[in-house]
Structure 1
């Protein structure tokens, strides 16, 4: 299905309302106003995901989402520009997580292993929270307006992974095709796994996205690793 303002892979779960403090030097404590904004955003996200997954994207209005969350329509638009935004943010934070995870991989690791770890983390989280994540993934993949927005996010993820992979390998992302091709292959596997997972057990094979991404990379690894220095 993160601590950033977008719900991302935390699946819309409400944060701990207690004080947020970091011992020693580091980020300043999160203010009461910031915690309140996060809680309101979480309530709106939860309300939207429940209604949309149950009734479908076109059948639910912004008014209904706001009412279910216990806020006004005006408040809704302080946090989200549209119904599309409140749904797509469910997965939007994954791209930043992928780049962060890729950057943290050991320098000498094969590209296939590093990329597999990077794209596996959000898929594993989705699998661990399938009761919440799967209905939303299905909603996104089966609603043209949401799918278009999701693909826009994936294009940004591809650019981020391209730049990070190029830096890891000491290559020029503008002159060398490999980083962009490798990033594209990793995200193609990610997308294929989401589609397969959304189809359910009736499609046959494993229904666990963590296992499915491993299967996908078993196919990709020879190509990813054969052209590296």
Structure 2
């Protein structure tokens, strides 16, 4: 069944929301979270402060919605992976869906990720979101493997490992851009950071544990 076609009013509302999000993330990434006001975001987007608050409760809420979209994309990708795939492969693809989206918008995304990871208030919200993603991924994994997401250890631990890999990739990738490199250059160890290779390397470390599915329910 095809999704309903959005109305003209819904399309206009989405355009305004997208413009506010774009302006907010650009300003926050460029100048820092505390240095940017809602008034400045609204002015940059060409709308009133009142209009901003119709879409977002605060400037922090803009970033939170960005994170919400990442989590939704990750679960969506895991759900569409073939049932025959090993858990490590399916989870790698799920994480890569988000990593690739970030890498595909290099200029802004690297700065936004760095902003999130280095701003205590935003990092706290990011970790809060990761806890929700863990639960959602655990349910999806349990369904794929015929496990009980509540009683068995594997689904939540596997989701935690995948999200730890995701976090590590983002940390190293965003840090690379803060050291004066371009593209994927300037990694934490002084060498180049290829985000696809880094993602593969992280999952190579955890794959044996991810693929060792053991029933542990009590």
TM-score, normalised by the number of residues in structure 1? 0.85
How far does residue 142 in structure 1 lie from its aligned partner after superposition? 0.7
| Contact 2:187-2:193 at 8 Å conserved across structures | no
TM-superposed CA distance for 1:173, in Å, is 1.1
The answer for the alignment partner of 1:141 in structure 2 is 117
From 50, 61, 81, give the equivalent of 2:57.
81
Out of 192, 209, 212, the residue aligned to residue 223 of structure 1 is 209
Q: Secondary structure at the match of 1:77?
A: helix
5+ residue gaps, structure 2, are: 177-185
Q: 2:44 aligns with which of 61, 68, 71?
A: 68
The equivalent of 2:72 in structure 1 is 96
- The answer for the alignment partner of 1:45 in structure 2 is 21
Q: Indicate the SS of the match to 1:187.
A: helix
Q: CA deviation at 1:206?
A: 4.3
Q: Over the residues paired in the alignment, what is the CA RMSD in angstroms?
A: 1.4
**69, 87, 104: which is aligned to 1:111?**
87
Q: Any gaps of 5 or more consecutive residues in structure 1?
A: 1-24
Higher relative contact order, structure no. (Cα contacts within 8 Å, ≥ 6 residues apart): 1
Q: For residues 178-229 of structure 1, what are the alpha-carbon distances to aligned partners after superposition, in whole Å with 9 as ceiling and x for unaligned?
A: 0110000000100111111111014134423322111100000011112357
Cα distance, 1:89 vs structure 2: 2.1
Alpha-carbon displacement from aligned partner over 1:56-98 (angstroms, at most 9, x marks no partner): 1111110111111111111111101111111232232111111
Which of these residues, 20, 31, 39, is aligned with residue 55 of structure 1? 31
Q: TM-score, with normalisation over the residues of structure 2?
A: 0.89
Q: Is the 8 A contact 1:127 1:208 kept in 2?
A: no
Superposition deviation, residue 172 in structure 1: 0.6
Partner Cα distance (1:28, 1:117) in 2 = 28
The structural deviation recorded for 1:143 is 0.6
Equivalent of residue 194 in structure 1, options 160, 170, 180: 170
In structure 1, C-alpha distance between the alignment counterparts of 2:139 and 2:192, rounded to whole Å = 32
Counterpart Cα distance in 2 of 1:122 and 1:149: 17
Judging changes above 3 Å, is the alpha-carbon distance between structure 1 residues 202 and 166 closer, same or farther for their aligned structure 2 residues? closer
Q: In structure 2, how many angstroms separate the alpha carbons of the residues matched to 1:78 and 1:40?
A: 10
